[in-house]
A = this chain, B = another copy of it.
């Protein structure tokens, strides 16, 4: 019997894709660490250990939720350590592990690359947009 409904086919493809993902686990990990917040948090932690609220201030635009979520993920992966100091008020420090620091070195280079070539990219975008506008105008002329 053939799997005829769209739902069944979708489920099957989904399973195939999941199988691929768990098989090719490096893509999985790559996806995790090439996340925006992960990059920023690890970069911020490069200067040394920081408290939760320090991180929140050091990373503009991050919400409480995303900061906590990101920290949990990279803690689980063994990239940062979480140290709770029982006091009033409670104090929680985050620090890079050796593994986390080795990744920071790499991501730092990517960050530098982005900063170095930003000007070029922005010029490229302007040029591209200008060309786009021209072709749009040309298309309009052809219609009229």
Instruction: With A30-B36, A35-B34, A36-B31 as known contacts, state yes or no: A121 contacts B61, CB within 8 Å.
Output: no
Interface size on A, residues (CB 8 A): 44
CA–CA, A102 to B61, complex, Å? Answer: 29
CA–CA, A109 to B39, complex, Å? Answer: 15
A110 contact from B17, B20, B33, B123, Cβ within 8 A: B33
Instruction: With A25-B118, A27-B40, A120-B99 as known contacts, state yes or no: A77 contacts B125, CB within 8 Å.
Output: yes
Instruction: With A24-B60, A60-B24 as known contacts, state yes or no: A114 contacts B29, CB within 8 Å.
Output: yes
CA–CA, A126 to B39, complex, Å? Answer: 23
Interface set, chain A 86-111, CB cutoff 8 A to B: 99, 102-103, 106-107, 109-111
A110 and B110 form a contact (CB under 8 A): yes
12 sample A-B contacts, Cβ–Cβ < 8 Å, listed by A number: A17-B61, A20-B60, A20-B61, A24-B60, A26-B114, A27-B36, A27-B61, A33-B110, A34-B36, A76-B124, A76-B129, A103-B117
